[in-house]
Amino acid sequence: MKSPSESYFHLHLVSDATGETLINVGRAACAQYANVLPIEHVYPLVRSMKQLERVLSEIESNPGIVLYTLVDKEIRERLKVRCRELGVPYMSVLAPVVQLFQSYLGGEPTPRIGGQHSLDASYFKRIDALNFTVMHDDGHMTEDLEAADVVLLGVSRTSKTPTSIYLANRGIKTANIPLVPNVPLPSNIESLKAPLVVGLVASAERIVEIRQNRLLGLNAGGSSTSYTDREAVSEEINFSRRLCARNGWPLIDVTRRSIEETAATIVALLAERRRRAIAET
CA 244 to CA 154: how far, in whole Å?
A: 10
159 CB-near residues (< 8 Å, 6+ apart): 200, 254, 259, 262
Beta bridge partners of 154: 178, 200
160 assigned ligand-binding residue: yes
CB 103 within 8 Å of CB 30: no
Q: What are phi and psi of 144, to 5 degrees?
A: -120, 40
Is residue 155 part of an annotated ligand binding site?
Answer: yes
Q: Would you say 113 and 21 are in contact if contact means Cβ atoms under 8 Å apart?
A: no
The closest of 224, 229, 131, 140 to 178, measured between CA atoms, is 140
Is 159 flagged in the annotation as binding?
yes
Residue 28 φ/ψ, nearest 5 degrees? -65, -40
The annotated binding site for ADP is made up of 154-161
The annotated binding site is made up of 154-161
